[in-house]
Amino acid sequence: MELDYLKCVFILLMIVFHLVYIGNRYPVAKAFVYTFHMPGFLIISGYLLNVHKPVPQFLRYIQWIFVPYLLMESGYVVMASILPIREHIQQLTFGLFLEKLFLHPLGPYWYLHTLMLCGIVTYVVAQFAGRHRVLMLLGVLLCLWVLALLGLVTWINAVYFCVGVALRLNHRPFVDTFHPAWWSFIGVVLVATCVPNALQRHTIGGMLIVYFVISFLLWLYPYLPKEVAKISHFIGRNSLILLLFSPMFTVLSKLFQSYLLFEPSGMLFMLVALLFTVVGSFAVACALQKLHIARYVFGQSRIIK
C-alpha cells in the first residue's frame, strides 16, 4: 500500500512538471522535484523486481514493457519532429528514429528503457550468482557501469535501481529502510538550502533529499483520509498508464492554458491540466480495454487495476 502511495505522489509530480508553463514558472521547484521523483521510482522498481521468476515468465514481463514502450516512444519521436515541444527534432531520419528508440529515448519513456535494461542485467546476473548476494550486486553494478559507459543508461539511475535490488536481496522492508519521520522535512530543508548542488540526484545532497523525502512521505501516509489513501493506491497501481499516456495530454493542455492564466500563480492551470491528464490517460486505457486492444499492447485484457 505504501509503495502504491509513493508511486502516486511521484507520477503526479512528474505530470505537473511536464507542463512546460509550470516548469518554466517554478524552475527551483522543478529542480527539487526532479531530484527525487524518478530516483524514488527506480528504487521501488529495483525493490519489486523478482529475479526468481522462471525464464519464460520473466521474458513475458519484459515483452509487455517493451511493446507499449515501442509504440509510445515511436509516437513521441514522430510528435517531436512535428510539434514545437521542448525536445523538438528538426529533421527526423530513419537512423535518428532508431537511435531514439533503442539508445537515447525521448520524453518520460527513458524510464521504461532503463527499467528493461536494468531488469534484464539484474535477472541474468542473478542466475549466475545464485545465493551469493554481494557477488550478485557487484556483478549487476559492474554490468550497468559498462552500459553507462556505452551511453545506454545513466549511471546514477542505475545506482538508484540497484539500491532497490539491494534492499530486496537483504530482505529489508522498504518502510523500515526509509524510516517514517516528521523531522525528515527539516532534513529536506537543511540539505536543500545548505548543501552545495543538493538539487542534483547524483550528488550526496541529492541522495539525502531522496531519502528524506521518501521518509517524510511515509510519515504522512497514516494521516491521509481513507478516501484519499484509496485514490492514491489506485493511481499508484496504475502509474504505468499515466506514464505512457500523459505526454499527449500535457501537450493538449496548451490548448486551454491561455484561458486559465487570469489566475496569476498558474495553480489553477496546473490543477485543471493535472486532472485533464489523469482522466484522459485513464479514458485511453479504458478505451483500449473496451476495444479489446489492450491484450495486444499489454498482454492482458484488463490494464486498469
Is residue 130 pLDDT above 80, yes or no?
A: no
How does pLDDT run across 207-228, given as a tens digit for each residue? 999 999 999 999 999 999 999 9
How does pLDDT run across 234-282, given as a tens digit for each residue? 999 999 999 999 999 998 999 999 999 899 999 999 999 999 999 999 9
- pLDDT recorded at residue 200: 92
- pLDDT recorded at residue 207: 96
**CA geometry: angle 109, 115, 119, nearest 5 deg:** 160
Q: How confident is the model at residue 37 (pLDDT cuts 50, 70, 90)?
A: very high
pTM of the complete model: 0.93
Residue among 64, 50, 47 nearest 161 (CA): 47
Is residue 144 pLDDT above 90, yes or no?
A: yes
Is residue 183 pLDDT above 80, yes or no?
A: yes
Is residue 90 pLDDT above 90, yes or no?
A: no
- pLDDT recorded at residue 55: 93
**Burial annotation 198-216 (CB, 10 A radius, 16+ → b, else e):** bbbbbbebbbbbbbbbbbb
- pLDDT recorded at residue 69: 95
